Amino acid sequence: MNRVSSIGVIFVVLLLLFGPSGISGQSRPARDPRKLFEAGEAALHAGKLDEAERAFRQVLAINPGVAGAYANLGVIDMRRKQWPRALEMLHKAEKLAPDVAGIRLNIGLAYFRQNDFVRAIRPFESVVQQSPDSYQASYLLGLCYFFNDRWTDAIGTLRAPRASSSARPDSCRPSGRT
């Protein structure tokens, strides 16, 4: 057995802690948040949820004000059916980007998928108000009204998107995506 000097051990520990660039005083180059975000989106679209989550969390570590990273983390949690975490992430995204209808649509979907139709109404209403041509939001809002015995609202809401459904008969078919 060879003895290792304490200076050698200290050097190895420092090398492990700081890496070769840390000892010289230079920090490792930070990863580009845009590239990380794009990698996260690609992983999300490919169904690689763990990889996508890591990328979006790295983006937030660099810049905690990226609404899209929170929104995508919410989508990941929705796909995992982790509703409280999904809503937490989506509400953070909504605070950072209150004018993005897609975030509110996903908030409504998270409530809808938990059968909390009362809470789903407000986000769906706001999406329909901002984007009246949103077939998905209109349809889901109509269902929420129906499940809450708001018959007149349900009829009016469900009747409106019906006219546009003839142009897009499969637009309400589940796509498997959130």
Q: What is the pLDDT of residues 124-156, one digit of tens each?
A: 999 999 999 999 999 999 999 999 999 999 888
- Is the model's pTM score more than 0.85? no
Residue of 145, 53, 62, 55 whose CA lies nearest to 108: 145
Which of 25-34, 45-54, 100-109, 146-155 is predicted with the least confidence, judged by mean pLDDT? 25-34
Residue 162 has pLDDT above 90, yes or no: no
